[in-house]
A = this chain, B = another copy of it.
Amino acid sequence: MKNVPFKGIIAYPITPFDENEKIDIPLFKHLVERLILSGNHGIAPLGSTGVMPYLSDEEKEAVTEATIQQVEGRIPTLVGVSNLTTEKTIHHARFAEKAGADAVMIIPMSYWKLTDDEIVAHYDAVAQKISIPIMAYNNPATSGVDMSPALLKRLLEIPNVTMIKESSGDVQRMHYLRRELGEDVAFYNGSNPLALAAFSAGARGWCTAAPNLIPELNIKLYQAVETGDLEKAKDIFYQQFDLLKFIVNKGLPRAIKAGLSIIGENGGNLRSPLKPLQEAETEELKKIITTLIN
């Protein structure tokens, strides 16, 4: 049977920087610990939230190791290892496996739009070099390539490609996935404002940066869905909708960092060219969070 280590809320930590724009590893570990203690079901460093593409190879390795050390096996870890070249993707995937990751996430980054055959060969080459499972990630907005259900089906024929994360923002894609790939396909939602629709459609989990700010609401939504209580799920979803919308619209690293400050946590600095939210934006976020907490 397929190895599918994730279910529920998979939390994405940000990568905090110090005043010189170097990664602040102790602060990172603290942020990871918060995500574990608040009850999330998985943790995923080096995602978009963690500004993985802005990091050097050495930095990615340091973040990977820091995560595994801090988690200490309490919840499963999903490490982002995507890279434009196949060689580098293999390098990072092997590093993650050796460091102790439970799975890796790979999006087919593509400066030059890749053909279906190139994408299959890319995943296949990586899969052959590791034995932990791979989550194939579809997000046309960031990768520049839209993997069709038919292509995802081909990828799932590779033994250790066992999971799909879908972030195209169109819930109908999840319906197609399930029809095309069967009821047992392990697909995960990566589009925050679609959380309710995706769970209703059968998503096994929700990959999200929101638990940095509102873990209880995220987890409660999952629990309501698990018990099949649609009314409750709807209520909890609408409570958090404004926040989900906000963090997506403003960019996750900027918005999560601002939100951490608002709730009294240190989120560190951003790396240029990313800049903090404008003051008016921060005020808007403050209002949303205040409403949620009271």
Contacts and interface: CB of A to CB of B under 8 A. Distances in A.
A274 B118 contact: yes
A201 B193 contact: no
A272 B200 contact: no
Interface in A103-159: 108, 110-115, 117-119, 121-122, 125, 141-142, 144
Interface residues of A, number: 60
A121 B275 CA distance: 9
Interface stretch (A1-9, A26-34, A168-176, A260-268): A168-176
Query: Taking chain A's interface residues, is the majority helix, strand, or loop, or is none over half, making it mixed?
Result: helix
Query: What's the number of copies of this chain in the assembled complex?
Result: 4
4 nearest A-B pairs in the assembled complex, by CB-CB distance = A86-B272, A197-B197, A122-B273, A200-B200
A39 interface: no
Interface of A: 21, 48, 51, 53-54, 84-87, 108, 110-115, 117-119, 121-122, 125, 141-142, 144, 169-172, 175, 178-179, 183, 193-194, 196-197, 200-202, 225, 228-231, 233-234, 238, 241-242, 245, 251-254, 271-275
Residue picked from A86, A197, A273, most chain B C-beta under 10 Å: A273
16 contacts: A51-B111, A51-B112, A54-B85, A54-B111, A87-B271, A112-B252, A112-B253, A118-B273, A118-B275, A141-B144, A144-B144, A175-B193, A175-B245, A197-B200, A200-B230, A228-B231
A235 to B, nearest CB: 10
A188 to B, nearest CB: 16
A48 B48 CA distance: 23
A58 to B, nearest CB: 12
